[in-house]
Amino acid sequence: MRRDIFQAIADPTRRAILVLIAMQAMTPNAIAEHFDGTRQSISKHLRILSECDLLDQKQEGREIFYELKIDKMKEIDIWLDQFRKIMEERFQQLDQLLYTIKNKEK
């Protein structure tokens, strides 16, 4: 079952996990050490992120390492970029308005 990627990253713990593994691949136990929750709750978060295709799993011996799928994160960034552009345009309009007001006061 595929989950909604935006619903998955809405959770602060899952976002924190993504930040952790963006730096380096980590085992579930290594990830769990950074959180107060149980190992089982971290496993659930990892499963949800994997179902959203945000994580890759690599087996090395008996250990499983999770790493971030950069391409999937790029999809999120592309979607967010439309809002970034809108906000930048609004800030530019605000800057222009403030500039106009300031010059009228002189």
- How many CB atoms are located within 10 Å of the residue 70 CB? 11
pLDDT surpasses 60 at 1: no
The pLDDT-based confidence of 70 (bands split at 50, 70, 90) is: confident
Q: Note the Cα 76 to chain centre separation in Å.
A: 8
For residue 89, what are the CA distances in angstroms to 8, 63, 96?
29, 48, 11
Architecture of domain 1-68: Orthogonal Bundle (1.10)
Chain mean pLDDT for the chain: 91
Can you give the pLDDT at residue 90? 93
